[in-house]
Each structure stands twice: as structure tokens, then as C-alpha cells.
Structure 1
Amino acid sequence: MSMKRSWHWRIRKTHRYLGVLIGVQFLFWTVGGLYFSWSNLDDIHGDPMKRPPGALPLQGALVSPSVPLEILRRRAGIDSIMGLQLIDVLGQPIYQLTYRTQDGHGHARTYTQLADARTGQLRNELTKGEATRLAQRRFAGSSAVERVEYLMATDPHHEYRAKPLPAYAVTFRQPAHATIYVAAQLGTVQSIRTDPWRMFDWLWMLHTMDYQGRDNINNGLLRAFSGLGLLTILSGFALYFVSSPRFRRQRPNSRKPIPNRQ
């Protein structure tokens, strides 16, 4: 086998095996890219299904935020206040107080406490009934509720991953299987998930090749397949050049012609 044919055979073999190895992943990337490019992100996020939060009427006096803050100061271990916000919970003005505590080992943790803005008294997290009514108010579709779940923890593949817990998952009885997640201690709607979003999320996992948490685009598997994909493309270009008659050189003939002596 000549040197040229040996290189031709090696490039062809390399390109073929690389194509088999990453062809399925190329298919996932293509299908995912098509779905992403043809999808409206507002629809994926469920924005058309969410009503904007209501405005609080200017009726009745509100106590100073210093009242619930003073109650919080009396609690042992409170280090500092991180945030203060006035929110509407089912038409009632509520202070949302975010504070930080430190344990004996110096580790800081952040908590959120709700307080009645009319009396200053601290209140418990949302009940199941309150969370359900809040979800129905914010949902623009049918208000028929199919089920309500109380979530204390989620795994890295859950559609409500990396968001405030505990939370209520209020699922509505309608074609898109919309679920509204309400953070119990924050008293607010965090997200809405529908079947189009779940399809998007599944394809995103295949796209990023992060089979642990779905959102890490710097994982080693993706980097490896990206490098192999580039190598496959380059081997295809090389195979074209070594196979094209336009770029192929004729092999020199080592045998000289015998002169005719007649």
C-alpha cells in the first residue's frame, strides 16, 4: 500500500468511526437547536399564563417596618437584615423581611419572615389554602386545581430545582399541565412550568450533556464531544481533499519505457 493510499485509508477510517461515535449526539444537538430556535421563550416561560401581581389599595394605616424588625432583633442569633419589601398576599399588605443568622461555627444562613404590615405581628408561612388561592389569582387559565403538593426538597432534575423551599406546587387541570410554584416562606409565586417548558428542559439537558443537573455548560463530557465534533469536521475536510481528483497527484511511474530497437 502506497503512502498516499495509507493516509487516505486512515483519514477515511477515522472519519467513519468518529461519525458513529458522535452522530447520535449531533442529532440531539440539531433537534434541540431546531426546537429552541422555533420556540417563543415567553411561551416557554409561561408568561402568557401569568397575571401580573395586584396593587395594594391605599386604605388603612401601615405600621412602621421597625415594629416587626424590633421583634426580630429580640430573637437570638440574628446577625443582620438583608432586605425589606412590602408585598401583596391575597389583598393583604405583608412585610417580607429577609435576615441572616450565624451558627456557632460561623456559618451564615439566610431566612425570610413574613409580618402583617397593619399590625407588625410576625406570621407563619403560607398555608396550603392560601398558596392555592394565590396561584389561582396569578394563573390566567382555568382555575380548576388538579392537585397541590408541599415540597421540602428537590433533586437536581426537578423542574423547580435551585429555587426557594419549602414551596407549594399547584397543578391546574388544563392541557398544558401548568404548575405554579409558590414559595411558602416568601409568600410569592416563583415560577410556572408547562409541558412546552418540560420539553425544552429535557432537550436542554441533551444539548448541554449535563446529566447531573442539566444547567452546567462547562462539564467535561460536553467539552470532550465538542472537541470530537471539531475533529470529525476537520477529518471530513481532509477526506475531501485527499479523495478529490482535482487535488490528487498522479503517482510517478518508476519503470522507464523500453525503447523500440526495430
Structure 2
Amino acid sequence: MFLIRTLHKWVGLILGLQFILWSFSGAMMALLDTDKVSGATSVREPAAVVIPAAVLPLGQVAERIGQPITSLRLKPLGSAYVYQAATPTGVRLIDAVTGAPLAIDAGRASALATADFSGAQAIASVRRITEGDVETRKLPLPLWRVEFADPEKTTLLLSEATGEVLERRTETWRLWDVFWMIHIMDYTKRESFNHPLIITVATGILWLAISGLILLFRAFRPSDFSYVTEPVARTRAAIASRRR
């Protein structure tokens, strides 16, 4: 029992520090403005784009793509409509009217990001991302990272294949992400709460709870419950004496 008590004390101290980190990080994530975390405050309402009266017929679309098409979508992109075709080699974009191929380069990515950003600040940087990091997580690569010069350093991550805004990052999100990292104890990728470290800590907490119950029952004696047992005993004795 001495060994259990000693281990319970020191394991409780170590895990208690982790409990403080969990409580603090969870509280901070809850206190941060969710709209700023998601970047919702920087979203501009999309401008209405009129569908062209005459778009390229599907037969000509197939000719321009020049590959088998597994799915085809007519969608607005910026100020025009495009055909987005999925092929065995990837996504292809062509102008819905002229059939001209479209590529999402730095200039087009900047224009799309500016049209999607509600602020008046200029673009601070444009970078093509080919390797994942804590900001891109598991987003499909390559993509364009367009950062604006606003106080939140709002960053839009756009697909190089489709031109769509995949995610928005802000300074508030970056702060939230640090607390998220601490909360799930994933200090590298910041995306998994099912890894050896947190499983080990969870196992330690389970042991701490079980050992605490053992020590709890061992710490009590019958006399500790006398304020409950004695009135019950007197009541039973009184009932028994009346029946005699």
C-alpha cells in the first residue's frame, strides 16, 4: 500500500501539470473569437456572375480537354464561367465560352484572393506551396498562399488545380492552433489526438483514478461513518423494542 500511495502522489503531481495545461488551453480556445479563428470576418460576398448565353457545347469541351472526362462542372471563377473537368491525369480548367485552357498562376491566384477578401489592404506576399506544413495540414498540394497586409495577416490558401479557396488562416487562428497543439499533445503535426504520448498519459490517468479509489477505501474506517450508522442502529433498536 505504501508503494501505491507513493506512486499515486508522484504520478498525480506529474499528470496534474498536464491537467493544468489541458484546462488552460481548452479555456483559451473557447475564449478566442471563433469568427476570427475561422477567418469568417474577412469573407467578401461573391459578386453575381451572369451565366453566358452561349457556352461551349459538351462535344467541343471533350475535344478541348483531349482526355477521358470522369466528371464535368460548369462554375464561376472570378468574373467568368469555366468548365472544370476531372481527368485521369488531374483537373483541367477551360473557359466556358472560348474553350481556352486556364491555369491558376500567381497572378490569377492573387486576383481570386483579392475578390474573396473583404478588407482594403493590399497583398503582402504570394507563394506557391509544394510541401505541407502546420498551416496547410492535409490540403491537396500544390496550392497558392496569398497573405494580406491586414492586422490579422489574413492568409488564403487556394487550390492550384481549381482556384477555390480551401482554407483561411489568421493571427487568431495561429494562436488558437498553438493552444490546440498543447491540448491534443501533438507537438509536430498538430492534427492527431490518437498518438502514443496522449495514450500513455490517458493510461496514467486511468491508473491514477483506480489507485485513488483503492486509497480512498483504505483511508476510511467504520468509525468515520458513525454519524450515519449510529442513528440507523438506534432506530432499529427502538423498532425492535416496540415489537417485544
**Shorter-chain TM band:** 0.7 to 0.9
Q: Deviations over 1:147-181 (max 9, x none)?
A: 111112224xx211211222221111122111111
Q: 1:91 aligns with which of 66, 79, 82?
A: 79
Instruction: Give the corresponding residue for 1:135.
Output: 113
The DSSP-based 3-state class of the residue aligned with 1:235 is helix
**3-state SS of paired residue (2:127):** strand
Structure 2 unaligned spans of 5+:
226-244
Task: State the Cα deviation string for residues 202-244 of structure 1 (Å, max 9, x = none).
Answer: 2222222233422222222211211111222333344444345
In the TM superposition, 1:6-85 aligns within 5 A as 7=1, 9-72=2-65, 74-75=66-67, 78=68, 80-81=69-70, 83-85=71-73
Percent of aligned pairs with the same residue? 29
Partners of 2:200 and 2:175 lie apart in 1 by 25
Aligned to 1:107: none
| Alignment match, 2:238 | none
* 1:119 matched to 2:98: yes
Other-structure match for 2:211: 235
1:248, distance to aligned residue in structure 2 (A): 6.8
Name the amino acid aligned to 1:144.
A
Over 3 Å counting, the alpha-carbon distance change for 1:112 and 1:13 in structure 2 is same
- Whole-Å Cα distance in 2 between the matches of residues 228 and 89 of structure 1? 53
From the two aligned structures, give the one with the greater helix fraction: 2
Q: Which ranges in structure 1 are unaligned for 5 or more consecutive residues?
A: 1-6, 102-110, 250-262
TM-score by length of 2: 0.81
User: How far apart in 2 are the matches of 1:95 and 1:15?
Assistant: 65
2: CA distance between counterparts of 1:171 and 1:65? 37
Shift of 1:115: 0.5
1:213 pairs with one of 179, 189, 199? 189
Cα RMSD for the two superposed structures: 2.4
The equivalent of 2:242 in structure 1 is none
Q: Once the 2 structures are TM-superposed, how far is the Cα of residue 12 of structure 1 from its aligned partner?
A: 2.5
Q: What secondary structure is seen at the aligned counterpart in 1 of 2:88? A: strand
- 2:84 maps to a residue whose letter is Q
SS in 1 for 2:136: coil
The residue aligned with 1:173 is: 149
- Tell me if structure 1 keeps the 8 A contact 2:52–2:97: no
Contact 1:65 1:120 in 2 (8 A): no
Deviation sequence 1:50-103 (CA, Å, 0-9, x none): 12333321444211243222333x34xx5x51x3222222201111112224xx
